[in-house]
Amino acid sequence: MSVKEAALYMGVSKDTIYELTRKKNIPHLRLGRRILFRKNALDIWMREMEKSSLKVEKDIANSYLGEDLKLNL
């Protein structure tokens, strides 16, 4: 899929997609000047980003709750 299609699929702007590819933070393929994405690779990447954000949120919440009230997310 193209940058435009990837942006629509993920619900972000094309500028965000360009920024993520420039920083090599999102799986993509360059063919000449074109930047392409596989839907499956984006799905896996987004799933991993969700997992890591949940872990960070859990860690932050647990740091505020104290040892006896830790969350089991």
> Which is nearest to 49 in space by CA: 72, 22, 29, 20?
20
> The pTM is what?
0.72
Rounded average pLDDT over 44-60: 79
Q: Please, which residues have CB within 8 angstroms of residue 2's CB and are 6 or more apart in sequence?
A: 34, 35, 36, 37
| pLDDT the model gives residue 53 | 76
Query: Tokens 């984006």 — which residue?
Result: 42
pLDDT at position 60 is 64
Q: Which amino acid is at 20?
A: L
Of residues 56 and 13, more confidence is placed in: 13
Distance of CA 55 to the CA centre of its chain: 14
pLDDT digits over 5-49, tens only? 999 999 999 999 999 999 999 999 999 999 999 999 999 999 999
